[in-house]
Structure 1
């Protein structure tokens, strides 16, 4: 990450727009922000943090009051930052939420927060070229590119020395809180909580198993009707089952004995009941014969009465017919009198006339009534037409109401059609956007595949680096060998030349013909062949080195291209992005799928509107037709009313007059009919009396009265016959019983004792039932004990491993949470933080030893605290002058500054490496230099010079005057009553 340009307006103490050009300010790699106390040096760092994350570090971020009180009302509070991250240059503009005076009227209004991110170069893969305008999206994009959260950025890039001085002197809990924020160890806390939750869950399960085991024990004791021991086991269960089996065997033996006794008693009872039944039958037969002997006279009387009744039966039937004829005559006379009264009531003038006259009068009256039948029908139609007239009025009113109601429905259809059209348009847009979102899904899937390939490419780079190092080592070894051989050959070159000298030949070096002392070859001399062979080996090693370097470049390029495509996004972010795109795709698909339904709904709604319009037209037409029919019907009713008025006479209407005529004719006809019936009945009565007297004399009776007195009803005759037959059958049956073989020799005086046998049977049955109940109880108890024992055995078998597993989990949970067998009282999270702190101590020690000229080193301690408190986060200082380890609290002010600066730089290195964030090309160190002497300040400056190696820019925030002399590039911050300003010193002035 490299900063290029910062603009602040109405922010903190800066009332106007101020610009900081970090490219010019950091051209030398080291610059100074200086100014008076309270001028706003640290505010510039707050502005950088606010632009990136929307918040400022420390307590200043809790106040949330960032607007300058001296700014003009029309000046917007704004921070703009241009920076480059992972090769992508961007411009971020943020404005906080603040209150400003209303532009119209009095009072204040709230200006909402806003943010935007604009790409000044090619955007990363997967990002829109037009940038981001949502606050949350800007924050996610920055955090994804930088690879660290706001708190980590504040500790890694903005090094606040005061906070690290407090960190040095802090207790374990305070250190733990800071390290947790920086290193993100929440997952280890989740592991600790997972162990605790699992132990709680398993503890509940174990308690449920124990409770189930106790329940089986209680049920066993209840069924066995005994007390359970304190620690019941399988031996106790075996004992109660044996007792139950013994009780069952004894009960079954008693049941067999009781069943045998019951069968013997029942056999004795059956024999005595048979003997008693024979005596009872003999006694009953003798008793029945005695009764029949006493009824002999009565049976003779029944036979005489039965014979006389049979002779008188025909006379009785004729007498009954005479009674019926007499009854018909009386009824005919009554009907004749009633008919005469009816005729008189209706006004008939000849009620005493003969039958022929009555029939003639009735015919004449029927003819008059027939002449009025047509008018009666017209009278009925008159009523129907009047009812029709009322219905037409109702139909017209109803049709008018229907037309009005349909009109109201039609009024809401335009709005409904507009809504359906809008939804159809959204569905069409969704359908059109499906291809784009599918393309985005494919891109996201490809990016996720790239993220899956990232570890393999990283391993390929590491392998290429290892191969390159081996090739470089081989090449350097071959080159060293070649150089050594060449040096040895040069050293022996004189001997090589001397070997070619001959007497009198000039020397190729000095030209002399004399060779007084030619050089001789040494043991280490090297020839031309050996040198050429070494040169070939060096050349081959160089070629292998070039190949390894090229392979490494290709691997790094592949990795760089892949990282460029990923743009710092992690696999989790890519997977989440793919999931979000998938959800968006499903949403659009659902909306696009509703297009056909909406099209049908629009067509249905239009058809419904057309139908309603047609219905309203039909209703209006029905109103018009009903009104026309009403007018024609009124004319017809008035014309018919005149004719009916003339025909009704003195009656209410024509129907009433016709009904009167018909009633009179019917009454006359009825009177003629009843007179004819009465004359025929009188004649039939005289004939029946003569016939009955002849029948009585033929039956042997002197008079009809004698025959009727001897007559009996059929039921009485049947009763006499049945009584006589029953007496004969009873006598035959009684004599048949006495003649049966098994009753011979049985006297009606014999006595049989059945009661004692019955009592014996009841006693035997009670004993057998008790024995059977005892067997069932013992059998059920034995069966229940067997079943419960099996359940108890299974519960014990499941309980023992569960208890062992829970004991192991309980001990492991205590160890993970810093208790139990954990001697250092360190939880898993504390252990991880201790490992991170040890890495920080190692990284910071290198800085501290350089700045303290080898005197001080950090020492990490994982010992437990006092009174058994947890440890692992202790950090002390080793003083090489005294050779002792002492607490950091004993350091002086300058020494504390060195230690805190070294700790901050070491922590920055570890956090940057641990988070995998972007390369941090810009660092800020805030205050603390005033506690150093000149010599120590020189050492610290040397360390800061090392930090800017490789193109890194380091900014110091201090008001120490000596730093102004040491650092050429400076940003001067001045404060005034109208607001602070900034100016570049040692370079071109910054536009203000």
Structure 2
């Protein structure tokens, strides 16, 4: 895989459109990507990853909106385009991430969907569409098929990110296993382990369930049989057969006893039934005889009840007529009272006159009131017209004042229009200059901030330079001390070995058992502990030197950026210009804010000219019409007033006089009606009294008082009727019973107690026997059914036991237990093999970069506290001949080991996946931890990579890298967004 061209727009810190020509950068096989911290160096690697896979490495890939540049214009879309060659085919991939953009109309945001396209430059591969692809999922499958690796593998073998391999170098077994599993796609072996574990868990659960089911069945059998479970070691099959035989015998005995006692119970119950029937007949005969005797004793009372009921029934019609008579009398009294009331209300009228005369008087008053009806409407119109005269006078006066006010407004209108037009022009000019002045204020504010920060930055730079020089001096002193110790150590090493020689023992160097000339001690010998301590001090000083150098370089870059942005400006000059520009901006902003107000005021004044002329014309016409109407209406009101004064007489108004006449007519009419009703009520009352006497005689009574004395209420009549009917019913029933039981002697005595006790005893004995027989049968049937299930369960358990034992042993082996001698899981075993290949490939480069001192050693030893091994990675130090953990390496040594491991891992993964040859490789940071000699070795290794046809891009801000690498891609940061430039 070789990259040719990368284009990014509004991506990361890049607000505009930037192009990276990898063909030009990689012409020499090695290029440097450098720039300020945070300018966007790593973002270029993210863009390559995003173009291929639609995601970026690490935590940066967790957010969608973060991929878009915050300072980009709203109408500039975010996109990444990458042109590359894979397996001999050249293609171009273009992607846009999902992000939120401002709406074109209105407030708020709208979601911009993710898009992607893949086009072929030249002939496409066999089976691919010539027009390319636009679906994201199809593009992902095509990229994976061409590269042969997913995005996790690509990030590790092509984009060697900051700190990832140093972390892998020092990781524990589990963390290292997770990364290797992603890179080599060994998830299937983990799935196999999980499958065996879950299968064993499932089979164990099934076995336990079946075993538990057998135990439950055995417990239920013993519970149903009412016995204890078999003892441990006892044959359960034989125990079950003996139990079934015993229960069958018990059931047969219980059924025989039940049959015998059932016959005894039937005989006793038959005897009891016969005696109960005879006792009931004797009781009924005695009760009927007693009933007839009691009825005969009360015969006279019953005849009195019948006479009383007959008289009450005959009095009912008389009572009805009496009620009508009472109502007619009450009506006559009410009518007479009404005549009295009506006479009292007819003041000024002769109420003793006959009815025809009263009707004539009412007619005369009614005609007089009718004549006044027309004048009442004229009186209401008179009031309306007087109110209208007042309204016309007020309207004429109001219109006159309004006309005078409008005339006054017309006089000053032209002058105000001219002033409003001038105010509007000034506001528009202020709005036009506002944006320019505001931009100048922002620029001066940023310059003032930079000017304030510059003195502190320069002071910080001086401190960092001093600290860096002190760190260099200290490191140089400790390095010279270490070299001196090593020379003395080598000089005294022979004497040190000679001290441990013994006659007859082999030499650890040459193996000889004779020691003719052992080395002699030297003055001031150096021990290994002293050398190690000096080496540790030198490495710590080197780390402090690199850290101080990096801080000084950062301080230098900060000062340069501040001076570059300030130019000729000073803090006082920037502050003065900022104050002046701020005041001007505020003034213009206030003037521009009044633009709409001035425009509205001008439009209102211009519209007022025509409006005032129209309103004055309308007022003049309205006043003329009002004056004419007022004159005409005044004459009409005066003429009508003469007629109304004659009609109302002594009353306040014509309406009051007419209402008085109508009320008097109504009172006379009421007196006539009341008199007529009184005469009619008197006649009806006399008729009802005559009808009452006639009804009493027709009912058989001597007079009305006798009929009224026979009156009985409804409850009393109903009670008498029910009592007589009950007596007749009781007498008939008793006579029928006596006739039916004529063969029964009233004096017969029946013994029911003895028969009842005998039947109850026989019944209890039969029920107990039935319960015993039923329980025995149910117990035998339940035990037989459970025994059948238990035998089937025993038969099924045998194969399940055998299968689980085999699966259990195999699962232990796969998971590193049981017969697994290495105690390694299947996943760890496969990953250990891959890690061993990586260690071999990485050792080739590590030896080169460390001048032959270090080699990687793979170990499958178990970890601390019994953790499983298989993924251990140590380093062999050729100086001491000892193997030690990777965590003991210094900062620079860790970088060399990490870089070697990354390159070796890239080779092994590419070979394992069968993917495309990786012709382009990126290494992100870490060179600042190396001294000059070690950096030479690293550069030699990178030269080997590019000599093999690869293009290597280094991401670093170390100053020395700029001196060593001729082709550079510079990233510059600014407030408006980062930019790119190729330097050579």
Q: TM-score, normalised by structure 1?
A: 0.44
